[in-house]
């Protein structure tokens, strides 16, 4: 699926997993190689009815496929040094994020309608094209648009705002409309090939969750939705890690905390995303064009809030 030759990426690539075994695994919630690798053979046998020795074989294969092994502290340091950053256009927001939006991980912007999620996505698609000394990566962006809110006019405006040629900046963004959740996931599969052929360093999914919510509404579909979203996030995480890409996703949530925490169906997107590695940024409206951003559970970033503004030219610090 990923296009990485010889790499096991789908559960059906695992030895001993035929179509009927795959179906049992998926139905029990073990839809990805990652999910199997972190399970015990007992858990899988109990949940699927697969025999214990067969389950043990599958788990072993999944762990080998993912190359679960020790890394040295030096390797960790080297991985960390490979991480690069894209400016958001606001110094405040960059500082909150430890210098900008990072490659090799997923950054999620979540908040209610109108908080600037789509504006930030547009701005990053422009800014990734900037030279490195101006906070870019001298690279292109992919914009997966699930709500039809992408505007080339806005790209033109923001490009002018950072001194890029507007036509060149628009050429540097590959836009695609995802028509449903299945399509959305298929696009990410395709990306594993595209990013190798082109200089793409940013992948946007705006929004990550809207199709999944619309197609799997309510509590009765919660398990299925969660499973698919998890699979989607794993795809994106792999894309980010294998190809050193910044993946940015948005997620619309209810503003009222009582609704947000009281009704788990409202929070499911956020909940699923919370379990994926990466950085989560909560956005909130403030006075006029000001927005408040807060980083939520990022162990390597200090807790805190900051204020940025959405201007005619794009994302900036407030006046
Ligand atoms: P979300 O994706 O979180 O629902 P958006 O990113 O679409 O929200 O943000 C919408 C807000 O961005 C609008 O309320 C408006 O304040 C601001 N905005 C959009 N376009 C412009 C523009 N051309 N100039 C100034 N502000 C704009
Ligand atoms: Mg939006």
Q: Where are the domains of the chain?
A: 11-65, 79-316
Q: Check if 310 has its Cβ closer than 6 Å to any atom of ligand 1.
A: yes
In order, the DSSP letters of the chain are: ----TT---SGGGSTT--HHHHHHHHHTT--SHHHHHTS-HHHHHHHH---HHHHHHHHHHHHHHTT-----HHHHHHHHHH--EE--S-HHHHHHTTSSEESSEEEEEEESTTSSHHHHHHHHHHHTTS-GGGT--S-EEEEEESSS---HHHHHHHHHHTT--HHHHHHTEEEEE--SHHHHHHHHHHHHHHHHHS-EEEEEEETSSHHHHHHS-TGGGHHHHHHHHHHHHHHHHHHHHHTT-EEEEEEE--S-HHHHHH-HHHHHHHHHHHTSSSEEEEEEE-STTEEEEEEES-TTS---EEEEEEETTEEE---
Q: Measured on CA atoms in the order 93, 274, 147, 124, is the torsion positive or negative?
A: positive
Q: How far apart are CA 68 and CA 45, in angstroms?
A: 21
Looking at all shown ligands, the one closest to residue 115's CA atom is 1
Q: How sure is the predictor about 266, in pLDDT bands with cuts at 50, 70 and 90?
A: very low
C-alpha 214/C-alpha 315 separation (Å) is 30
State how far the Cα of 33 lies from the Cα of 236, in Å rounded to an integer.
14
Q: What is the mean pLDDT of residues 109-115?
A: 93
Distance CA 187, CA 102 (A): 22
Q: Which two tokens stand for residue 301?
A: 């970033």
pLDDT for the residue 35? 81
How far is ligand 1, taken at its centre, from the CA of residue 140, in Å?
23
User: Which residues have CB less than 5 Å away from ligand 2 (the ion)?
Assistant: 117-118, 149
Q: Is 312 in the pocket of ligand 1 (CB under 6 A)?
A: yes
Domain 11-65: give its CATH superfamily.
Answer: 5' to 3' exonuclease, C-terminal subdomain (1.10.150.20)
Q: Are 103 and 244 in contact (CB under 8 A)?
A: yes
Q: Is the CB of 41 under 6 A from ligand 1?
A: no
**pLDDT value at position 3?**
37
φ, ψ of residue 223 to 5 degrees: the values are: -65, -45
| Burial class of residue 296 (count of CB atoms within 10 Å of its CB; 0-12, 13-18, 19+) | middle
pLDDT at 135 over 70: yes
Q: Check: CB of residue 16 under 8 Å from CB of residue 41.
A: no
Asked if 265 and 258 count as a contact pair (C-beta separation under 8 A), the reply is no
140 CB within 6 A, ligand 1: no
69 vs 91 pLDDT, higher one:
91
Minimal-distance CA residue to ligand 1 atom 18: 310
For ligand 1, whether the C-beta of 291 sits within 6 Å is no
Residue-level pLDDT at 269: 46
Distance 200 CA to ligand 2 centre (A): 22
Do 221 and 208 contact (CB within 8 A), yes or no? no
**Probe residue for ligand 1, chosen from 146, 310, 318 as the CB with the greatest number of ligand atoms within 8 Å:** 310
Q: Which of 61, 52, 53, 45 is nearest to 12 (CA)?
A: 61
Mean pLDDT of 38-61: 91
Q: Which residues contact 268 (CB under 8 A, 6 or more apart)?
A: 213, 222, 225, 226
Q: Provide the β-strand partners of residue 177.
A: 145
Above 80 in pLDDT, residue 106?
yes
Mean pLDDT value across residues 202-215? 95
pLDDT top residue among 319 and 258: 319
What is the mean pLDDT of the segment spanning 80-101?
96
pLDDT digits over 163-186, tens only? Answer: 999 999 999 999 999 999 999 999
Q: Give the rounded percent of residues in the chain with a pLDDT score beyond 70.
A: 90
The mean of the pLDDT values for the chain is 88
| Rounded mean pLDDT, 137-145 | 98
Domain 79-316: which topology?
Answer: Rossmann fold (3.40.50)
């Amino acid at each position: 699926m990923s296009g990485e030759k010889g790499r096991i990426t789908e559960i059906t690539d695992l030895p001993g997993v035929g179509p009927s075994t795959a179906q049992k695994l998926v139905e029990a919630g073990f839809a990805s190689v990652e999910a199997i690798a972190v399970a015990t053979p007992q858990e899988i046998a109990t949940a699927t009815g697969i025999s214990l020795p067969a389950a043990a074989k599958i788990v072993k294969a999944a762990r080998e496929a993912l190359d679960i092994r020790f890394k040295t502290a030096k390797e960790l340091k080297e991985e960390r040094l490979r991480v690069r950053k894209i400016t958001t256009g606001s110094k405040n927001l960059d500082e909150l994020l430890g210098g900008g939006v990072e490659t090799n991980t997923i950054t999620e912007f979540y908040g209610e309608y109108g908080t600037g999620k789509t504006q930030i996505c547009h701005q990053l698609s422009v800014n990734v094209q900037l030279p490195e000394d101006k906070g870019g990566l001298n690279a292109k962006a992919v914009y997966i648009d699930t709500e039809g809110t992408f505007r080339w006019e806005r790209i033109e405006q923001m490009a002018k705002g950072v001194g890029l040629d507007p036509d060149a900046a628009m050429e540097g963004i590959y836009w695609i409309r995802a028509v449903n959740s299945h399509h959305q996931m298929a696009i990410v599969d395709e990306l594993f090939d595209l990013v190798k052929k082109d200089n793409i360093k940013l992948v946007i999914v705006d929004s990550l969750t809207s199709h999944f919510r619309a197609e799997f509404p309510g509590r009765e579909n919660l398990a299925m939705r969660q499973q698919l979203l998890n699979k989607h996030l794993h795809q994106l995480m792999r894309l980010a890690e294998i190809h050193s890409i910044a993946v940015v996703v948005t997620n619309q949530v209810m503003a009222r905390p009582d609704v947000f925490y009281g009704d788990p169906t409202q929070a499911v997107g956020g909940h699923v995303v919370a379990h994926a590695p990466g950085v989560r940024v909560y956005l909130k409206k403030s006075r006029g064009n000001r927005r408040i951003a807060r980083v939520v559970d990022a162990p390597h970033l200090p807790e805190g809030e900051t204020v940025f503004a959405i201007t005619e030219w794009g994302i900036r610090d407030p006046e």
